[in-house]
Structure 1
Amino acid sequence: MSEPVPAFAVGQRWLSETQPELGLGMVEAVEHRRVTLLFPATGERRTYAADNTPLWRAQLAAGELLRDLEGRDLTVVDLLEHNGFVTYLVRDSAGHEEPLPETRIDPRLRLSRPQQRLRAGRLDSDTWFRLRVQALEQTARLATAPTRGLLGARISPIPHQLHIAAEVADRHHPRVLLADEVGLGKTIEAGLILHRLLLAGRVHRVLILVPEPLLHQWLVELLRRFNLSVALFDRKRVQALVRQGANPFESEQRILCSLDLLTEDVGLADAVLHADWDLLICDEAHHLEWSPEASSPGYELVAGLAAKIPAVLLLTATPEQLGRAGHFGRLRLLDPERFGDYAAFLAEEEGYAPVAELVTRLLDETPLSADEQARLDTLLDGDADADGSSAEPARAADTDEAAGELEAAGKPPATEQCGATSAATRERQALIDQLLDRHGTGRVLFRNTRAAISGFPERVLHPARLEAGADADDAGADNEVDPLDALWAAIDDPQGLEQDPRLEWLIARLRELAPAKVLLITTTAETVLDLRRALLERAGIQAAIFHEEMPIVERDRAAAFFADPEEGTQILLCSEIGSEGRNFQFAHHLVLFDLPADPELLEQRIGRLDRIGQTETIRIHVPYRAGTPDELLFRWYHEGLDAFSAHQPAAPAVFWEQRETLQALLSDPAPEPAEIEALIGEAQALRARLDTELAAGRDRLLELSSHRPARGGALVQALEEEDRDPTIEIFLTGLWDAFGVEREPGPGGSLVVRPGAHMLQERFPGLPDEGLTATFNRQHALAHEERRFLTREHPLTRAALELVTGSHLGTSALVLTQDKRFPSSALLLEAVYVAECPAPPALNAQRFLPPTARRMLIDEQGQERSVEIDPDALGGKCLRPRRPLARALLQAKSKVIEAMVTLAEQEAARETRALREQAGAQMRAQLDAELDRLRDLARRNPAVRAEEIAALEAERDALAETLANSRLRLDALRLIAFA
């Protein structure tokens, strides 16, 4: 049976299904079974075969909006069709009604609302409808997950890092000092905080100040771990921008810059101070020198920035290395009112000892004496009754909060998990939480130590004492040569390297260790190149190289070559700077071809492998030449500092104490043995004394507040559950197939994705023209940093979600199916609504009203059936390719469909009211409780700033107004017809 030819008439308005961007078309001529349309919005004409045309009749329904040729916005009240033409009864903004012929409608009108598109027959495939629903669900999860901002980072989930990131990023304008020891991940913590703040829309303009040698490390860390690009401002780039006449620091949103560059140029310092910033991150903050008498230029510049920038992160691994005054000076940068008096600060710290003692007794489950109980009650609540009863509600609240953290991560409270946690244990933990919350500097300073955090590997030293070559004895002979340069003079010279016994030792050791991966670190890029040549020529050993003079792409390839377990090279040769910012934890053998004369650099080298999460013993191989400066340096590190067996917090202080003596002996061509023994003995004694002082002065309150195992563990569990969830992979692969993107299996379980030859658009957002290799597996991503780690938070994924939800793809669909529950010719209408709350991103209203998709199933009797029928189970034949059949069905059932849409809208209006009430009540309960907590804390802990409380009050008021205007918005319609 042939399809009837549509009834065209001159003057009618039609839409092009294949080219909706043309706008409304007007029929100009109908002759010889052909129809010609003029599209006034673009001035184009199109001629179609009347019996096979991709045109749909443009008709609006009552309640819909349109614009006339005069530009007035009008609402359709009713419509009348006569002889194929439509005349609308419309109402203007003043309430006046008048008739409007369809010829007077603005030709730029687009039927974009789902009901308009469905009525006009502008149908999408069922595949796109399902992808749209998936995209809405994934967007809602992205907005509401407790792991938001933490999920997308290429990191191993470490509890203390996740706790600090969530704790700091969830504050209003956080201002904290991150002071974890080496290897515990301060840079990761800062990156997580930045990433979470950016995703929440709470910061935009970011300034990152670091020492110049760390610029590349930060650039790589932010890009590789967090997919965050920053503008690297070096002297050349800044000068070029200055010549253009504008403030160079207003040209980019996220800027990475050397602090020295700014302090050396008054003009640049003034420019950076006059730019607007949301967040300041300053690494190696212990170089910011301050005392009651004076301060360094760097300190003064950062102080000026910190005074005007709302959020500040300072990073240092040695908060008190340069004295208590310097430590106080850094805290003063964060809150000059709170830390305004150095003497008062020292006195206040003395008062933490009784609190720490109480925490210790509670942790050890030691019963409290009457005096201790009274002191505890006083600390928790100044006007508590003698029996401490007034503190009980707070304790219960804290217990509920701890349980809530687990529930937020999808886990039951500990009592439900094991059934063995007693009420006394829960109460004791609640008391500890309150003490940590209300006392100490834990809200400003976070300091985790290796002594308090488990997960570090064992180190085993493998020294090799070698007989020096002929030239090695003269390495330190010239007293005019810098002692550090003298150490490497022989190996920087290719001729000297040929005579160096360490080369033969290295060749033998590599053969002995094969096929185990070996990382070698040396001082200079020249040595790296000479070693590669010598290994290849002397032993046929191919080595990958990695140094600061290589382009980033070449470094990536070298790292990937080294990481490949089957075809990769056995050894990677790294220079000092080239080794920074990279994860080589899959290797367990480290060769220190030479030794740096600074223990912090030595620890940084070892830290390439010895990092939290490392599962294997680290084998440290140190060749040194007998009777040369490198033997002296080895002995000083090994015997004096014990620096190879474990991280030594006191080592930097010992170095600064002995620096001049050490360098003098390294420069001496024939140092006296007694002087060497005295140096090593003094180093041993100094280290022992400093270790004792550090252990005695360690603030247990600070350690405990810096690492909350319950919250950190809950976040780890939530992250692991997200990693196991396959839905984002299902969505992306389905979207790629529908869009026309090509994909195929890659090496090691990865996926190779490339632009296809017949994609819907010229480009797929986030996909390079050359394609990419990606993985959805975290462990795979950690081992292969050159591959994209695709999560719900990856920029490519977020762009893909926006591609679907921000377009009309999938907003209207029609399928034909069979189901015994429904008679032939029955209809179901699936209406997908999205909770919508117009609010600035900084308010993060989605935590109370997530953009969750509400799927309704309306039958012809007006019943909502989604509870009893799974919409995903209703498949069938998509009628989009069968336009004549789809058109006939829509026309025959138009009145029924309109009634079903109206019923769905009425149900959505009822649910909107309940949604607003629920979201508002949840918001008030949460924020009012937090405000009560902060006000109470402010009376006991001056680290809680008045600005923080005022910001939270303003946020609560703004959210109350915003949530009151929320609604359910119709996003997509799918009509299901039964045969």
Structure 2
Amino acid sequence: MRTEPADAAASTGVAIDAPAVRFDAPAVRFDAPDAARLAELLGGPTSTLVRVRHAIHARRLAGAESFTELLSLARLVGVERHGYQIETVHRVLRTLRGRALLSDEVGLGKTIEALMVLLEYQVRGMAKRVLVLAPPALVPQWVGELQTKAGIAARTIDREGDGVWRGDGVVVASLATARMQRTAPVVQAEPWDLVIVDEAHRVKRRGSSSWKLIDGLRSRFLLLLTATPIETELLELYQLVTLLRPGQFATPAAFRRRFVDPNNPTSPKNREALRELLGEVMVRNTRASCGLKLPPRFVSTVVVDPADDERALYAAALEALRAATEPRVRRHAGLLVLEAGSSPAAVRGTLDKLDDPAFAKVAAAAGVEDTRKGRALLDIVRLGGEAQVLVFTRYRATARWLADLLAREGLAYRAVHGDMTNVDKQAALTAFRAGDAQILVSTDVGSEGHNLQHCHRLVNFDLPWNPMVIEQRIGRLHRFGQTSEVEVFNLCARGSMEERILGVLHDRVRLFELVVGEMDMVLGNLTDEADLEQRLLALCANAPTDGDVDAGLAALGDELLRARGRYDEVRELDQALFGQEFEA
């Protein structure tokens, strides 16, 4: 055997002149995640030393010692990589061995940290079967994040039915579905490489079906994500940590004796000892510890008096919804009501596809071309001088209509929507960032995954009835890296459902004052987990008069106020228990 020159050795390691080396020693057994790869590399009765070298390299690649370099970073798309997130992922992989409680403050990116851990294990062949459990409202968000940021096509029960639990891939499901009596045994019988539980404070009660589900899962790696690991008492922290590392805090009685002050449950005893034990399983970043601060944002509601023909179109769509009895017709009528709150162009686009006599009155009223909201948008743009403006709409037809309006007015704009190729979309976004266009018209899908914090003025031309979508829009600008005060203008027509909804969300509950991520926490405290938009559409359909709609909205406002109150209480407790001395 001879040694190659340095440059050749760098690529192959050694050159083999001797016959292949035969291994007569007993077979070496490797852990399951690498067995298939190593069998391929070492297949047959003989192996060259080059094969052995590659086998050893593959084994090391899968080992914890190789986590000094994060291979997942190259796979992430459209994600800002903050130093504290990279440090967190390193710690989860190397120190906590893939079982961790991620308790960053809201808005700091626990989801991104979990995605990075997932990708890191996937790249190394250590996570072929992954289960993500989240509240029902967050399941679509997880599916979208996996696709746009990690290039992972998630598997869901909606697409695959009960067979989704078997086989390789990333399964995203609601905790409510997974814990069902008929489902839980199936989920627990399957071997999972990695399980991620979002909003993990929902599994804090040891006797609950949710806690029992997680406790019974067969999983090598487990991530629990929650900004509020404690909501009412310190023992909730014990229950969460026990899922990750049974025995970390001994027994519940021992935990109480050592750490719980019976006279002041929000002030634990033996803080240093508690901190040390938590450091073996928990990571918590705060804005203060990360040196991150957002500029203020100001949200304004711009109520426009619609013209008679605009009002007639909205009334016709609402009448069709209330008159619908068949589920299919009601579903289409609900869409028309939402589109009527956006633009006549959006309504016409749907009517062309439906060709349904049930919507004859809507079709007769849908010929409106000019709208008062369109004029209001132009006023907002001009009042801002040369400042750039991001205009959001839910519908492609509205985006095209807005593009025509801006072109007629001689304003420099670009548009992005879901039908565009990635190349065309990127070109439009690049032009907007470079200042070649004052206005960017975007659908919710069009600019997904793109951060636009160089701009500080946003117009919601239409308003999704789910406040989380509005928050996600605002988050494209009001995020770390933004240096200016952010102005948000919500456009709505007087007398519309959108005006009523904003009256509840903005004026009464003041949801838009919350920092990024906190709205998730408030909405998660609602007693009814159904999608808020569907609840509001059902209210419109079933309420015979506008007065009944107002009464239903008032009840929803009461529920939201209670949910916000619960969140405020939890946040105060969280601050009392996890001040800076508990930052990890």
TM range, normalised to the smaller chain?
A: 0.5 to 0.7
**Counterpart of 1:502 in structure 2: which amino acid?**
K
Check conservation: 1:149, 1:197, Cα contact below 8 A. no
Q: 1:268 to 1:461 in 2, by over 3 A?
A: closer
Q: Which one of the candidate residues 603, 623, 635 is aligned to 2:471?
A: 603
Distance 1:538 1:259 in 2: 47
How far the C-alpha of 1:536 sits from its partner, in A, is: 4.4
Q: Which residue of 2 aligns with 1:583?
A: 451
Verify: 1:164 aligned to 2:79, yes or no: no
Counterpart of 2:37? none
Task: Choose from 483, 489, 492 the match for 1:621.
Answer: 489
Report deviation, 1:554. Answer: 5.5
Question: Which aligned pairs between 1:640-655 and structure 2 lie closer than 5 A?
Answer: 640-647=508-515, 648=518, 651-652=522-523
Amino acid at match of 1:601: V
Match of 1:259, SS state, is strand
Instruction: Report the Cα distance in structure 2 between the residues aligned to 1:509 and 1:444, rounded to whole angstroms.
Output: 50
Secondary structure of the 2:167 match is: helix
C-alpha change, 1:344 and 1:627, in structure 2 (3 Å) is: farther
Out of 439, 443, 449, the position equivalent to 1:570 is 439
Is residue 249 of structure 1 aligned with residue 161 of structure 2? no
Instruction: Give 1:493's aligned residue.
Output: 347
Instruction: Tell me the equivalent position of 2:144.
Output: 216
Identity rate, percent: 23
Q: What is the CA–CA distance in structure 2 between the aligned matches of 1:546 and 1:700, rounded to whole Å? A: 45
Q: Is the 8 A contact 2:296 2:486 kept in 1?
A: yes
CA gap 1:72/1:331 in 2 versus in 1, 3 angstroms: closer
Counterpart of 1:258 (choices 169, 172, 176) is 172
Q: 1:292 to 1:619 in 2, by over 3 A?
A: same
State how 1:88-237 maps to structure 2 within 5 Å. Answer: 156=80, 158=82, 160-194=84-118, 203-205=126-128, 207-209=130-132, 211-223=139-151, 230=152, 232-233=154-155
Q: CA deviation at 1:458?
A: 1.0
Change (3 A) 1:176 1:66: closer
The alignment status of 1:671 with 2:561, answered yes or no, reads: no
Partner deviation per Cα, 1:851-906 (whole Å, 9 max, x = no partner): xxxxxxxxxxxxxxxxxxxxxxxxxxxxxxxxxxxxxxxxxxxxxxxxxxxxxxxx
In 2 relative to 1, CA 352–559 (structure 1 residues): closer, same or farther, beyond 3 Å?
A: farther
The residue number in structure 2 matching 1:460 is 298
* Structure 2 residue 209 is matched with structure 1 residue 295: yes
Per-residue CA shift, 1:93-150, capped at 9, x if unaligned? xxxxxxxxxxxxxxxxx9x9xxxxxxxxxxxxxxxxxxxxxxxxxx9xxx99967569
Partners of 2:155 and 2:232 in 1: how far apart?
A: 29
Alpha-carbon distance in structure 2 between the residues aligned to 1:259 and 1:602: 24
For residue 610 of structure 1, report the CA deviation from its aligned partner: 1.8
- Deviations 1:475-516 (CA, angstroms, capped at 9, x unpaired): 645546689753443433144773542222223333444643
Match of 2:387 in 1: 516
Structure 2 letter corresponding to 1:509: I
- 3-state SS of the aligned residue for 1:464? strand
Task: Report if aligned partners of 1:457, 1:615 keep a CA contact under 8 Å in 2.
Answer: yes
Rg comparison, structure with higher value: 1
Give how far 1:623 is off.
1.3
Q: In 1, are the aligned partners of 2:228 and 2:570 still within 8 Å (CA)?
A: no
Contact persistence 1:665–1:671 (CA under 8 A): no
For residue 280 of structure 1, what is the aligned residue in structure 2?
195
Tell me the distance in 2 between the aligned counterparts of 1:179 and 1:326.
14
1:90 alignment partner in structure 2: none
The verdict on how the C-alpha distance between 1:185 and 1:257 changes in structure 2, with shifts beyond 3 A counting, is same
- For residue 309 of structure 1, the aligned residue among 198, 219, 234 is 219
What letter is aligned with 2:148?
Answer: V
Any idea what SS the aligned residue of 2:209 has? Answer: coil
> What is the deviation of 1:291?
5.7
Superposed CA offset, 1:574-632 (max 9, x none): 22x55543322222222222333344333323222222332222111111222222122
| Per-residue Cα deviation, 1:312-345 (whole angstroms, up to 9, x for no partner) | 1233456678999998876564346568988987
Q: CA deviation at 1:459?
A: 0.3
Shift of 1:520: 2.8
- Per the TM alignment, residue 185 of structure 1 is displaced from its structure 2 partner at its CA by 0.9
Deviations 1:407-462 (A, max 9, x none): xxxxxxxxxxxxxxxxxxxxxxxxx8x556325x5544445566876421210223
Residue 313 to residue 289, structure 1, CA distance change in 2 (3 Å):
closer
CA drift at 1:221 = 1.5
What is the alpha-carbon distance in structure 2 between the residues aligned to residue 673 and residue 216 of structure 1?
A: 32
Tell me the amino acid that sits aligned with residue 214 of structure 1. Answer: W
Please tell me the residue identity of whatever aligns with 1:311. F
Matched, 1:634 2:502: yes
Cα distance change of structure 1 residues 172 and 320 upon mapping to structure 2, 3 Å threshold: closer
What SS is found at the alignment partner of 1:310?
A: strand
- One-letter code aligned to 1:189: E
Structure 2 residue identity aligned to 1:222: A
Task: Supply the distance in 2 between the matched residues of 1:642 and 1:263 (Cα, whole angstroms).
Answer: 34
Pairs within 5 Å for 1:379-418:
379=270
SS at match of 1:582: coil
* Count of residue correspondences: 484
Match of 2:307 in 1: 469
Instruction: Kindly indicate which of the two structures has a greater share of residues assigned to helix.
Output: 2
Distance 2:537 2:253 in 1: 36
Residues 493 and 204 (structure 1 numbering): CA distance in 2 closer, same or farther, change over 3 Å?
A: closer
Aligned to 1:840: none
The residue identity in structure 2 corresponding to 1:313 is L
- Return the alpha-carbon distance in structure 2 between the equivalents of residues 599 and 265 of structure 1: 28
| TM-score, with length taken from structure 1 | 0.41
TM-score of the aligned structures, taking structure 2 as reference length: 0.63
Once the two structures are TM-superposed, the CA of residue 206 in structure 1 deviates from its matched residue by 5.2
Alpha-carbon distance between aligned partners in 2 of 1:265 and 1:633, rounded to the nearest angstrom: 33
Shift of 1:198: 6.4
Structure with the largest fraction of strand: 1
In the aligned structure 1, how far is the partner of 2:296 from the partner of 2:425? 29
What is the distance in 1 between the residues matched to 2:141 and 2:247? 33
Between the aligned partners of 1:168 and 1:632, the Cα distance in structure 2 is 45
Shift of the 274–457 alpha-carbon distance from structure 1 to 2, 3 Å rule, reads same
